[in-house]
Amino acid sequence: MATDVLVFDTTLRDGEQAPGFSLRVPEKLALARRLEALGVDIIEAGFPIASVDDAESVRRIAQEVQGPTIAALARCTPADIECAGKAIAPARKGRIHTFIATSDLHLERKLRISREQCLETAARAVAQARQFTDDVQFSAEDATRSDMPYLTSVIEAVIAAGATTINLPDTVGYSTPDEIRDYFQAIIAAVRGSEKVIFSTHCHDDLGLAVANSIAALHGGARQVECTINGIGERAGNAALEELVMITRVRADRAPFTMRIEARELFGVSQLLTELTGEAVQANKAIVGRNAFAHESGIHQDGMLKDRRTYEIMSPDSVGVPKTTLVLGKHSGRHAVAQKCEALGYAFSKRELDQVYRQMIALADTQKHVSDEELAAIAAQVKAEY
Protein backbone atom coordinates (compact mmCIF):
# COMPACT_ATOMS: atom_id res chain seq x y z
CA MET A 1 0.00 0.00 0.00
CA ALA A 2 1.41 3.40 -1.01
CA THR A 3 1.49 6.25 1.52
CA ASP A 4 0.30 9.75 0.59
CA VAL A 5 2.97 12.43 0.79
CA LEU A 6 2.51 16.20 0.61
CA VAL A 7 4.72 18.08 -1.86
CA PHE A 8 5.94 21.42 -0.49
CA ASP A 9 7.54 23.37 -3.33
CA THR A 10 10.07 26.01 -2.28
CA THR A 11 11.32 27.07 -5.73
CA LEU A 12 10.04 30.60 -5.09
CA ARG A 13 11.74 30.87 -1.69
CA ASP A 14 14.78 28.61 -1.11
CA GLY A 15 15.26 28.28 -4.89
CA GLU A 16 15.05 31.98 -5.47
CA GLN A 17 17.60 32.62 -2.66
CA ALA A 18 20.38 31.13 -4.84
CA PRO A 19 22.70 33.63 -6.56
CA GLY A 20 21.45 34.44 -10.07
CA PHE A 21 17.92 33.11 -9.52
CA SER A 22 16.03 36.13 -8.25
CA LEU A 23 12.60 36.72 -9.76
CA ARG A 24 10.20 39.67 -9.95
CA VAL A 25 6.51 39.61 -9.01
CA PRO A 26 5.02 38.76 -12.47
CA GLU A 27 7.59 35.98 -12.95
CA LYS A 28 6.83 34.49 -9.56
CA LEU A 29 3.12 34.65 -10.32
CA ALA A 30 3.61 32.86 -13.65
CA LEU A 31 5.62 30.12 -11.95
CA ALA A 32 3.09 29.79 -9.12
CA ARG A 33 0.34 29.18 -11.69
CA ARG A 34 2.42 26.43 -13.30
CA LEU A 35 3.13 24.89 -9.90
CA GLU A 36 -0.61 24.84 -9.27
CA ALA A 37 -1.14 23.04 -12.60
CA LEU A 38 1.63 20.63 -11.63
CA GLY A 39 -0.39 19.76 -8.51
CA VAL A 40 1.94 20.70 -5.66
CA ASP A 41 0.18 20.81 -2.29
CA ILE A 42 2.03 23.79 -0.81
CA ILE A 43 3.80 26.67 -2.56
CA GLU A 44 6.30 28.52 -0.41
CA ALA A 45 5.91 31.85 -2.16
CA GLY A 46 8.64 33.88 -0.45
CA PHE A 47 10.11 35.53 2.63
CA PRO A 48 7.95 38.66 3.02
CA ILE A 49 10.18 40.54 5.50
CA ALA A 50 13.15 40.25 3.08
CA SER A 51 11.94 42.90 0.62
CA VAL A 52 8.91 44.86 -0.52
CA ASP A 53 8.92 42.86 -3.76
CA ASP A 54 8.97 39.54 -1.90
CA ALA A 55 6.07 40.61 0.33
CA GLU A 56 4.13 41.74 -2.74
CA SER A 57 4.72 38.48 -4.59
CA VAL A 58 3.51 36.42 -1.63
CA ARG A 59 0.40 38.62 -1.35
CA ARG A 60 -0.37 38.43 -5.10
CA ILE A 61 0.15 34.65 -5.22
CA ALA A 62 -2.05 34.26 -2.12
CA GLN A 63 -4.71 36.33 -3.85
CA GLU A 64 -4.57 34.71 -7.29
CA VAL A 65 -3.45 31.09 -6.82
CA GLN A 66 -6.18 29.43 -4.85
CA GLY A 67 -5.59 25.67 -5.26
CA PRO A 68 -2.50 24.95 -3.16
CA THR A 69 -1.74 26.21 0.35
CA ILE A 70 0.39 29.37 0.13
CA ALA A 71 3.22 29.52 2.67
CA ALA A 72 5.37 32.48 3.74
CA LEU A 73 8.67 32.20 5.59
CA ALA A 74 9.38 34.09 8.82
CA ARG A 75 12.15 34.02 11.39
CA CYS A 76 10.95 33.58 14.98
CA THR A 77 10.56 37.32 15.48
CA PRO A 78 7.31 39.29 15.96
CA ALA A 79 8.00 41.59 12.97
CA ASP A 80 8.69 38.70 10.57
CA ILE A 81 5.59 36.82 11.67
CA GLU A 82 3.35 39.84 11.38
CA CYS A 83 4.69 40.56 7.90
CA ALA A 84 4.19 36.92 6.82
CA GLY A 85 0.69 36.86 8.36
CA LYS A 86 -0.34 39.97 6.40
CA ALA A 87 1.13 38.61 3.14
CA ILE A 88 -0.80 35.31 3.29
CA ALA A 89 -4.03 36.97 4.48
CA PRO A 90 -5.76 36.83 1.03
CA ALA A 91 -5.05 33.09 0.62
CA ARG A 92 -7.85 30.53 0.64
CA LYS A 93 -5.39 28.31 2.55
CA GLY A 94 -2.43 30.16 4.08
CA ARG A 95 0.52 28.88 6.12
CA ILE A 96 3.16 30.66 8.19
CA HIS A 97 6.48 28.85 8.14
CA THR A 98 8.63 30.00 11.01
CA PHE A 99 12.16 28.78 11.72
CA ILE A 100 15.08 29.04 14.10
CA ALA A 101 18.36 27.12 14.25
CA THR A 102 18.65 24.46 16.97
CA SER A 103 22.22 23.14 16.59
CA ASP A 104 24.74 24.26 19.20
CA LEU A 105 27.00 25.51 16.41
CA HIS A 106 24.31 27.91 15.16
CA LEU A 107 23.12 28.87 18.65
CA GLU A 108 26.60 29.64 19.96
CA ARG A 109 28.33 31.05 16.89
CA LYS A 110 25.50 32.62 14.86
CA LEU A 111 22.52 33.48 17.06
CA ARG A 112 24.52 33.78 20.31
CA ILE A 113 21.62 32.61 22.46
CA SER A 114 21.22 29.72 24.90
CA ARG A 115 19.24 26.55 24.24
CA GLU A 116 16.55 27.78 26.68
CA GLN A 117 16.23 31.13 24.88
CA CYS A 118 15.91 29.33 21.56
CA LEU A 119 13.16 27.03 22.86
CA GLU A 120 11.19 29.95 24.34
CA THR A 121 11.60 32.05 21.18
CA ALA A 122 10.38 29.19 19.00
CA ALA A 123 7.30 28.48 21.12
CA ARG A 124 6.43 32.20 21.34
CA ALA A 125 6.75 32.61 17.57
CA VAL A 126 4.50 29.64 16.86
CA ALA A 127 1.86 30.95 19.28
CA GLN A 128 1.99 34.36 17.56
CA ALA A 129 1.72 32.75 14.11
CA ARG A 130 -1.40 30.87 15.25
CA GLN A 131 -3.12 34.23 15.67
CA PHE A 132 -2.96 34.63 11.86
CA THR A 133 -3.65 31.06 10.70
CA ASP A 134 -4.28 27.60 12.09
CA ASP A 135 -1.69 26.18 9.65
CA VAL A 136 1.75 26.81 11.17
CA GLN A 137 4.96 25.08 10.16
CA PHE A 138 8.00 25.13 12.41
CA SER A 139 11.48 24.38 11.04
CA ALA A 140 14.48 23.57 13.24
CA GLU A 141 17.26 24.90 11.02
CA ASP A 142 20.33 22.61 11.02
CA ALA A 143 18.15 19.94 12.63
CA THR A 144 20.30 17.03 11.48
CA ARG A 145 23.31 18.46 13.35
CA SER A 146 21.29 19.28 16.49
CA ASP A 147 21.41 17.39 19.78
CA MET A 148 18.52 14.94 19.57
CA PRO A 149 17.16 15.16 23.18
CA TYR A 150 17.28 18.96 22.98
CA LEU A 151 15.62 19.01 19.56
CA THR A 152 12.91 16.70 20.93
CA SER A 153 12.16 19.21 23.69
CA VAL A 154 11.94 22.08 21.16
CA ILE A 155 9.55 20.08 18.97
CA GLU A 156 7.34 19.24 21.97
CA ALA A 157 7.26 22.92 22.95
CA VAL A 158 6.24 24.12 19.48
CA ILE A 159 3.59 21.40 19.18
CA ALA A 160 2.17 22.56 22.50
CA ALA A 161 2.19 26.14 21.13
CA GLY A 162 0.16 25.08 18.05
CA ALA A 163 2.57 23.98 15.28
CA THR A 164 0.89 21.62 12.81
CA THR A 165 3.91 20.71 10.64
CA ILE A 166 7.43 20.03 11.94
CA ASN A 167 10.18 20.36 9.36
CA LEU A 168 13.61 18.89 10.14
CA PRO A 169 15.97 20.31 7.51
CA ASP A 170 19.31 18.86 6.55
CA THR A 171 20.35 22.48 6.07
CA VAL A 172 23.93 21.86 4.93
CA GLY A 173 23.37 18.55 3.13
CA TYR A 174 25.42 16.66 5.72
CA SER A 175 23.30 13.58 6.28
CA THR A 176 23.38 10.21 4.52
CA PRO A 177 20.31 8.15 3.56
CA ASP A 178 20.54 5.45 6.24
CA GLU A 179 21.30 8.08 8.87
CA ILE A 180 18.36 10.36 8.04
CA ARG A 181 15.89 7.45 7.89
CA ASP A 182 16.96 6.34 11.41
CA TYR A 183 16.92 9.97 12.54
CA PHE A 184 13.27 10.53 11.49
CA GLN A 185 12.22 7.22 13.02
CA ALA A 186 13.93 8.07 16.32
CA ILE A 187 12.56 11.63 16.55
CA ILE A 188 9.01 10.63 15.70
CA ALA A 189 9.16 7.85 18.31
CA ALA A 190 10.63 10.17 20.96
CA VAL A 191 8.38 13.24 20.56
CA ARG A 192 5.30 13.29 22.76
CA GLY A 193 2.34 14.34 20.59
CA SER A 194 4.09 13.42 17.31
CA GLU A 195 0.85 11.86 16.04
CA LYS A 196 -0.81 15.34 16.05
CA VAL A 197 1.58 16.79 13.44
CA ILE A 198 3.06 16.10 10.02
CA PHE A 199 6.82 15.65 9.89
CA SER A 200 8.56 17.17 6.88
CA THR A 201 11.94 16.65 5.23
CA HIS A 202 13.98 19.43 3.57
CA CYS A 203 17.30 18.27 2.16
CA HIS A 204 20.16 20.20 0.59
CA ASP A 205 22.48 18.77 -2.04
CA ASP A 206 25.98 19.66 -0.81
CA LEU A 207 27.07 16.01 -1.11
CA GLY A 208 24.69 15.21 -3.98
CA LEU A 209 22.39 13.26 -1.64
CA ALA A 210 19.36 15.55 -1.35
CA VAL A 211 16.98 13.33 -3.30
CA ALA A 212 18.24 10.05 -1.81
CA ASN A 213 18.04 11.56 1.68
CA SER A 214 14.48 12.83 1.08
CA ILE A 215 13.28 9.40 0.00
CA ALA A 216 15.03 7.85 3.02
CA ALA A 217 13.34 10.39 5.32
CA LEU A 218 9.96 9.35 3.88
CA HIS A 219 10.85 5.74 4.73
CA GLY A 220 11.61 7.03 8.24
CA GLY A 221 8.13 8.53 8.65
CA ALA A 222 8.19 12.02 7.07
CA ARG A 223 4.94 12.76 5.27
CA GLN A 224 5.82 16.07 3.60
CA VAL A 225 8.76 16.53 1.25
CA GLU A 226 10.27 19.94 0.46
CA CYS A 227 11.83 20.41 -2.95
CA THR A 228 12.39 22.74 -5.89
CA ILE A 229 12.07 22.61 -9.67
CA ASN A 230 15.42 21.67 -11.27
CA GLY A 231 16.77 21.27 -7.71
CA ILE A 232 17.66 24.97 -7.48
CA GLY A 233 18.40 26.46 -4.06
CA GLU A 234 21.07 27.64 -1.65
CA ARG A 235 24.62 26.50 -2.65
CA ALA A 236 24.32 23.09 -4.38
CA GLY A 237 20.53 23.35 -4.23
CA ASN A 238 17.58 21.46 -2.77
CA ALA A 239 16.06 18.08 -3.60
CA ALA A 240 14.78 18.18 -7.20
CA LEU A 241 11.00 17.83 -7.36
CA GLU A 242 11.01 16.10 -10.76
CA GLU A 243 13.44 13.43 -9.53
CA LEU A 244 11.44 12.71 -6.37
CA VAL A 245 8.22 12.36 -8.33
CA MET A 246 9.68 10.04 -10.95
CA ILE A 247 11.39 7.84 -8.35
CA THR A 248 7.98 7.22 -6.81
CA ARG A 249 6.50 6.49 -10.26
CA VAL A 250 9.28 4.36 -11.77
CA ARG A 251 10.30 2.59 -8.53
CA ALA A 252 6.99 2.45 -6.67
CA ASP A 253 8.13 -1.01 -5.51
CA ARG A 254 10.98 0.57 -3.49
CA ALA A 255 9.53 4.05 -2.90
CA PRO A 256 5.80 3.42 -2.27
CA PHE A 257 4.76 7.05 -1.85
CA THR A 258 1.95 8.80 -3.68
CA MET A 259 2.40 12.44 -4.71
CA ARG A 260 -0.52 14.27 -6.29
CA ILE A 261 1.64 15.51 -9.17
CA GLU A 262 0.75 15.68 -12.88
CA ALA A 263 4.09 14.36 -14.18
CA ARG A 264 3.45 15.49 -17.78
CA GLU A 265 3.81 19.08 -16.54
CA LEU A 266 7.36 18.51 -15.25
CA PHE A 267 9.32 19.46 -18.36
CA GLY A 268 7.17 22.54 -19.06
CA VAL A 269 7.63 24.05 -15.61
CA SER A 270 11.37 23.26 -15.72
CA GLN A 271 11.63 25.08 -19.05
CA LEU A 272 9.67 28.07 -17.76
CA LEU A 273 12.02 28.35 -14.78
CA THR A 274 15.14 28.32 -16.99
CA GLU A 275 13.54 30.88 -19.29
CA LEU A 276 12.65 33.25 -16.44
CA THR A 277 15.96 32.96 -14.57
CA GLY A 278 18.21 32.66 -17.63
CA GLU A 279 19.97 29.76 -15.86
CA ALA A 280 20.10 26.57 -17.92
CA VAL A 281 19.98 23.13 -16.32
CA GLN A 282 23.00 20.90 -16.89
CA ALA A 283 22.67 18.76 -20.05
CA ASN A 284 22.80 15.48 -18.12
CA LYS A 285 20.30 16.53 -15.41
CA ALA A 286 17.90 13.65 -14.63
CA ILE A 287 14.38 13.94 -16.12
CA VAL A 288 14.62 17.48 -17.56
CA GLY A 289 18.19 17.87 -18.90
CA ARG A 290 18.82 18.14 -22.66
CA ASN A 291 20.42 14.68 -22.70
CA ALA A 292 17.97 12.91 -20.38
CA PHE A 293 16.30 11.27 -23.40
CA ALA A 294 19.10 11.61 -25.99
CA HIS A 295 21.22 8.75 -27.32
CA GLU A 296 24.40 9.07 -29.36
CA SER A 297 26.36 5.83 -29.21
CA GLY A 298 25.75 3.20 -31.89
CA ILE A 299 25.05 0.37 -29.42
CA HIS A 300 22.47 2.41 -27.53
CA GLN A 301 20.83 3.73 -30.70
CA ASP A 302 20.58 0.20 -32.08
CA GLY A 303 18.96 -0.97 -28.81
CA MET A 304 16.57 1.97 -28.78
CA LEU A 305 15.46 1.33 -32.36
CA LYS A 306 14.72 -2.30 -31.51
CA ASP A 307 13.05 -1.75 -28.11
CA ARG A 308 13.22 1.59 -26.27
CA ARG A 309 13.09 -0.14 -22.89
CA THR A 310 16.71 -1.26 -23.47
CA TYR A 311 17.97 2.23 -22.58
CA GLU A 312 14.99 4.20 -21.25
CA ILE A 313 13.32 3.49 -17.89
CA MET A 314 10.53 5.99 -18.50
CA SER A 315 9.09 7.52 -21.65
CA PRO A 316 9.87 11.17 -22.47
CA ASP A 317 6.15 11.68 -22.94
CA SER A 318 5.47 10.67 -19.30
CA VAL A 319 7.32 13.80 -18.09
CA GLY A 320 6.27 16.11 -20.92
CA VAL A 321 9.48 15.91 -22.99
CA PRO A 322 8.39 16.00 -26.67
CA LYS A 323 10.47 13.03 -27.84
CA THR A 324 13.54 10.85 -27.57
CA THR A 325 16.42 12.15 -29.70
CA LEU A 326 18.96 10.05 -31.49
CA VAL A 327 21.90 12.41 -31.81
CA LEU A 328 24.35 11.74 -34.63
CA GLY A 329 27.99 11.94 -33.55
CA LYS A 330 31.24 10.06 -33.91
CA HIS A 331 29.89 7.25 -31.67
CA SER A 332 26.76 6.68 -33.76
CA GLY A 333 26.13 3.58 -35.87
CA ARG A 334 24.61 2.76 -39.26
CA HIS A 335 21.16 1.97 -37.81
CA ALA A 336 20.59 5.49 -36.58
CA VAL A 337 21.94 7.00 -39.82
CA ALA A 338 19.59 4.78 -41.84
CA GLN A 339 16.62 5.74 -39.66
CA LYS A 340 17.40 9.47 -39.91
CA CYS A 341 17.86 9.24 -43.70
CA GLU A 342 14.53 7.47 -43.98
CA ALA A 343 12.87 10.20 -41.91
CA LEU A 344 14.44 12.76 -44.27
CA GLY A 345 12.85 10.92 -47.23
CA TYR A 346 15.88 8.99 -48.58
CA ALA A 347 15.87 5.31 -49.46
CA PHE A 348 19.47 4.10 -49.83
CA SER A 349 21.09 0.90 -51.02
CA LYS A 350 23.61 -0.71 -48.63
CA ARG A 351 26.54 0.80 -50.58
CA GLU A 352 25.03 4.29 -50.61
CA LEU A 353 24.26 4.12 -46.92
CA ASP A 354 27.84 3.09 -46.25
CA GLN A 355 29.01 6.19 -48.07
CA VAL A 356 26.63 8.46 -46.13
CA TYR A 357 27.74 6.84 -42.88
CA ARG A 358 31.47 7.34 -43.62
CA GLN A 359 30.97 10.99 -44.55
CA MET A 360 28.87 11.59 -41.44
CA ILE A 361 31.60 10.10 -39.18
CA ALA A 362 34.28 12.18 -40.93
CA LEU A 363 32.26 15.33 -40.26
CA ALA A 364 31.46 14.27 -36.66
CA ASP A 365 35.19 13.90 -35.99
CA THR A 366 35.60 17.62 -36.55
CA GLN A 367 32.61 18.86 -34.50
CA LYS A 368 30.36 17.90 -31.57
CA HIS A 369 27.45 16.39 -33.50
CA VAL A 370 25.89 16.28 -36.98
CA SER A 371 22.61 18.10 -37.42
CA ASP A 372 19.67 16.88 -39.54
CA GLU A 373 20.48 19.66 -42.06
CA GLU A 374 24.09 18.48 -42.36
CA LEU A 375 23.00 14.86 -42.78
CA ALA A 376 20.49 15.94 -45.45
CA ALA A 377 23.29 17.69 -47.35
CA ILE A 378 25.46 14.55 -47.21
CA ALA A 379 22.50 12.38 -48.27
CA ALA A 380 21.68 14.64 -51.24
CA GLN A 381 25.31 14.61 -52.40
CA VAL A 382 25.57 10.82 -52.16
CA LYS A 383 22.27 10.42 -54.05
CA ALA A 384 23.56 12.75 -56.79
CA GLU A 385 26.85 10.82 -57.09
CA TYR A 386 25.31 7.33 -57.38
What residue ranges bind ligand KIV (CB under 6 A)?
14, 99, 139, 141, 167, 169, 171, 202, 204
Judged by CB under 5 A, does residue 9 bind Zn ion? no
**From Zn ion, ligand KIV, none, interface partner of 237 (C-beta below 5 to 8 A by class):** none
Contact stretch for Zn ion (CB under 5 A) within 13-21, 97-105, 183-191, 343-351: 13-21
CA distances, 72 to each of 37, 56, 112, 289, 340 (Å): 20, 11, 25, 30, 51
- Closer by beta carbon to ligand KIV, 50 or else 305: 50
- Closer by beta carbon to ligand KIV, 128 or else 301: 128
Smallest distance from ligand KIV to CB 14, Å: 5
- For helices 177-190 and 210-219, the axis angle rounded to 10 degrees is 40
- Closer by beta carbon to ligand KIV, 139 or else 301: 139
| Nearest residue to Zn ion, by Cβ distance, number only | 14
- Closer by beta carbon to ligand KIV, 18 or else 255: 18
Smallest distance from Zn ion to CB 43, Å: 15
Judged by CB under 5 A, does residue 14 bind Zn ion? yes
Smallest distance from Zn ion to CB 238, Å: 6
- Closer by beta carbon to ligand KIV, 44 or else 82: 44
Interface with Zn ion in residues 346-375 (CB under 5 A): none
Smallest distance from ligand KIV to CB 111, Å: 14
Smallest distance from ligand KIV to CB 322, Å: 34
**From Zn ion, ligand KIV, none, interface partner of 139 (C-beta below 5 to 8 A by class):** ligand KIV
Beta bridge partner(s), residue 24: none
- Closer by beta carbon to ligand KIV, 87 or else 321: 87
- Closer by beta carbon to Zn ion, 15 or else 220: 15
Smallest distance from ligand KIV to CB 170, Å: 8
Smallest distance from ligand KIV to CB 247, Å: 21
Judged by CB under 5 A, does residue 82 bind Zn ion? no
Instruction: Report CA Rg, the chain.
Output: 25
Smallest distance from ligand KIV to CB 107, Å: 14
- Closer by beta carbon to ligand KIV, 22 or else 339: 22
In the complex, which residues of this chain contact Zn ion (CB under 5 A)?
14
